[in-house]
Amino acid sequence: MAHLTTTAVPTELFYEDLGAGQPVVLIHGWPLSGRMWEGQVNALLEGGYRTITCDRRGFGQSGRPATGYDYDTFASDLNDLLTALDLTNVVLVGFSMGGGEVARYVGRYGVGRVAKAAFLGAVPPFLLQTTDNPDGVPKQVFEEMMTAVKKDRVNILTGFFEVFYGRNKDAHKVTDDMIAWAKSIAWSASPVGTAECIRAFGYTDFRADLAKFTMPTLVLHGDDDQIVPFDVSGRKTAAAISGSRVAMLAKGPHGFTATHGEEVNRILLDFLATGEGSGQGT
């Protein structure tokens, strides 16, 4: 466990660097931290990979600055991490808003350090509804979400995680303890960062970033994702990246790293070994 000081809008960034082998950097989603990768860390270490998790600024054990919650800064933070650890031949794995960091990092810093990339339930290429993205999400949805978080962040997360893990459709999908665990992580985050990250993942256009992807890329998504539906995100990302592989998780909600952990690990390890996705999940 360690911290580094970032170069853009300086703050302390917390990370864990475990094991040996090809490095895999896991980038978490909103409003969680690197702790969400618990099941994947164990599987990757057992598979012989050096496994690195990092808490985004404002979340987990990283610093909680008042500013810097935009994707150019997040990408700079990721670049600081890769540079500080001198990582090459790295695999970048981004979940949900973490996929935006993978996209913007490649868009700004290129593929020199990167061997492969994986988008898991990720927000690229562009969530916001605009004239050239007519099937995106209306801006009002993100504005209402920011207003609700600013007004009652602690309580709104209960309903959010019910949908995040698909428990609103299947009460047995996750336990009460899993919901409580997720809320305990999210409650500890910066209130400012929690709200500002909605603006970041809601309004940032990653289409130009995806055009720079030349490495093997996996797009892994749940077919019942109510938070970031496949049709508005993963399907378009796969179409934008030539030769990318798509794997779908049957009945998979947004929080599939917890609900479908064994399948996620199987697909991810297969991709790491072969550079290809393993097709339809079961």
| Over residues 90-98, mean pLDDT | 98
Q: Residues 6 or more apart from 54 whose CB is under 8 A from it?
A: 13, 14, 15, 16, 25, 26, 27, 28, 34, 62, 77, 78, 81
Q: Are strands 2-5 and 12-18 parallel, antiparallel or unpaired?
A: antiparallel
Q: What is the mean pLDDT of residues 225-234?
A: 97
Is pLDDT at 1 greater than 90 in this prediction? no
CA separation for the pair 278, 9 (Å, rounded): 40
At which residue do the structure tokens 């990167």 appear?
114
The Cα diameter of the chain in Å comes to 47
List, by residue number, the catalytic residues. Answer: 96, 225, 254
- Residue-level pLDDT at 282: 29
What digits encode the pLDDT tens for the residues 102-144? 999 999 999 999 999 999 999 999 999 999 999 999 999 999 9
Please tell me the predicted confidence (pLDDT) of residue 239.
97
**Residues pairing with 219 in the sheet:** 119, 246
What confidence tens digit (pLDDT) does each residue in 191-220 have? 999 999 999 999 999 999 999 999 999 999
Yes or no: say if 281 and 252 are a contact pair by the CB < 8 Å rule.
yes
The backbone torsions φ and ψ at residue 221, rounded to the nearest 5 degrees and listed phi first, read -145, 150
Helices 176-187 and 139-164 cross at an angle (nearest 10°) of 140
Confidence of residue 281 (pLDDT cuts 50, 70, 90): very low
pTM, two decimal places: 0.96
Are 112 and 105 contacting, i.e. CB atoms less than 8 angstroms apart? no
Q: Which residue has the tokens 């913007």?
A: 104
Identify the architecture of domain 2-274 in CATH. 3-Layer(aba) Sandwich (3.40)
Single out the residue of 255, 83, 106 nearest to residue 183, CA to CA.
Answer: 255
| 114-120 β-sheet, strand order | 2-5, 12-18, 50-54, 23-27, 90-95, 114-120, 217-222, 245-249
